Amino acid sequence: MKLLTDADVITYLNSNLTKNSLAKFQNVLIEGLKTYKQNPDKVVPPRIAQMSNNEDSDTTHLFMPCISPNEVGIKVISGGAGNNAKGLGFQGCVLVLDEITGSLNALVNAKSLTAFRTALASTSGLTKVIPYDWEEVELLPELTVFGVGAQAYWHVKLILTFYKEKITTVNILNRSLANAEKLCDRFRVEHPDVVFNEFSYEGDKSEFTGHIRNSSIIIGCTPATSPVILNDYINQDPKYHKFISLIGSYKPHMIELDLAVIEQFKSTGTAILVDSKEHTLHEAGELIQADFDADHLIEIGELYDPDNYLPPKLFTLHANNVVVQKIVGLSIMDLSIAKCIAEDTRSGGVEVAEF
Ligand SMILES: NC(=O)C1=CN([C@@H]2O[C@H](COP(=O)(O)OP(=O)(O)OC[C@H]3O[C@@H](n4cnc5c(N)ncnc54)[C@H](OP(=O)(O)O)[C@@H]3O)[C@@H](O)[C@H]2O)C=CC1
């Protein structure tokens, strides 16, 4: 059995940050999403989400099972205001079982793994819509990310790996400016050739609106309850591709993107890209508040179906060349990537002879 700490996962991922490695990981994740698509309820059975029964705890515990033909296991993840106040965020692990016998093959810390697999799902939609090897693509040179947690961090890392020749500037927008500054300082060390700008989106809009309008890729990684990505921030020139990926909201009252944008999709019959129709319609504030229906959602698994080509006009707003994607996360994403990392890790993890 393999035991991988968060540090092991980070070391492994950092040594695999190339376009080729990420494309291989994307394939693993997309295969998992296609398997889910064939049998959603059986592959991703209902999860348990329950508040702690300990009176000193405000933690919510989530148990997320996966029983696919090739990935069997469970992700256990816990968090809440108390954890956030201690700087812990979500804590948890992924148990990877042998898919035939159920014996335990790996135990992987879920912290960075979760952020990595979400960023991988985001970039799977992104690189399909805007291939990173296109020479002629009309891409604006900045990247804007809302939020400063692990999700924001891994989204920036993956997008810079895929589009490194095309992005000169990264804008980090956050509720707290101090936390945005901390993340930018970290990135300035890791990516000295890229310009990083930090802003509070609650501050003077004139300071950052121009930067967002100069961004083709905009990512939302916050649990915001009122929109932080406003329609007015989005470049409206149809000459430039714009891809907005939202991963933060996970409850009906949470919303990161201006409903005015979603309503343009709805009124023109344009589809939104998702990881799961069923799960996003239960969890994603943007879709629920705009009363979006499953007929106008396209799953990433469908986007990658070689037998059913989906023309970009189905999911691109014609007037301004905008694509929107919403990811809520599925246990099969955790299991497929955890299994892949555990199998590929020959060193770094601790080998446990007997369990
Ligand atoms: N789609 C998916 O599969 C997954 C989504 N998520 C979600 O992604 C989001 C980011 O997660 P992660 O990177 O781990 O970061 P954290 O959950 O640690 O959140 C940190 C970020 O959220 C901001 N934030 C916290 N509360 C609010 C609020 N009420 N309004 C606006 N911003 C707020 C923080 O801003 P500040 O610095 O100012 O405090 C900071 O930028 C979360 O919503 C999380 O639930 C997480 C896992 C998987």
Per-residue pLDDT tens listing for the chain (355 residues): 899 999 999 999 999 999 999 999 999 999 999 999 999 999 999 999 999 999 999 999 999 999 999 999 999 999 988 998 898 888 999 999 999 999 999 999 999 999 999 999 999 999 999 999 887 778 999 999 999 999 999 999 999 999 988 999 999 999 999 999 999 999 999 999 999 999 999 999 999 999 999 999 999 999 999 999 999 999 999 999 999 999 999 899 999 999 999 999 999 999 999 999 999 999 999 999 999 999 999 999 999 999 999 999 999 999 999 999 999 999 999 999 999 999 988 655 555 444 4
- State whether the beta carbon of 92 lies less than 6 angstroms from ligand 1: no
Cβ contact 325:243 at 8 Å:
yes
- Beta strands (DSSP E) in the chain are 2-4, 48-51, 60-67, 72-79, 91-97, 104-109, 142-146, 169-174, 195-200, 215-220, 242-246, 272-274, 297-299, 322-326, 350-351
- State whether the beta carbon of 250 lies less than 6 angstroms from ligand 1: yes
Give the residue, out of 153, 222, 251, with the most ligand 1 atoms within 8 A of its beta carbon, to mutate for a pocket test: 222
Between CA 159 and CA 271 the distance in angstroms is 23
- State whether the beta carbon of 324 lies less than 6 angstroms from ligand 1: no
Per-residue model confidence (pLDDT) at position 349: 53
- State whether the beta carbon of 222 lies less than 6 angstroms from ligand 1: yes
β-partners of residue 338 are none
Cβ contact 3:311 at 8 Å:
no
- State whether the beta carbon of 238 lies less than 6 angstroms from ligand 1: no
Strand order in the sheet with 297-299: 195-200, 169-174, 142-146, 215-220, 242-246, 322-326, 272-274, 297-299
Per-residue model confidence (pLDDT) at position 136: 77
β-partners of residue 94 are 75, 108
Give the residue, out of 221, 255, 273, 286, with the most ligand 1 atoms within 8 A of its beta carbon, to mutate for a pocket test: 221
Between CA 234 and CA 22 the distance in angstroms is 28
Per-residue model confidence (pLDDT) at position 330: 98
Cβ contact 283:323 at 8 Å:
no
Residue 35 Cα distances to 9, 196, 314, angstroms: 25, 39, 23
Domain boundaries, the chain: 2-113+332-351, 119-329
Per-residue model confidence (pLDDT) at position 348: 52
Q: Give 274 Cα–ligand 1 centroid separation in angstroms.
A: 19
Domain at 119-329: CATH architecture: 3-Layer(aba) Sandwich (3.40)
- State whether the beta carbon of 221 lies less than 6 angstroms from ligand 1: yes
ipTM computed for the complex: 0.98
> What single-letter DSSP state applies at residue 74?
E
The CATH number of 2-113+332-351 is: 3.30.1780.10
Between CA 106 and CA 109 the distance in angstroms is 10
Q: What would the pLDDT profile of 238-288 be if each residue is shown by its tens digit? A: 999 999 999 999 899 999 999 999 999 999 999 999 999 999 999 999 999
Residue with CA closest to ligand 1 atom 34:
147
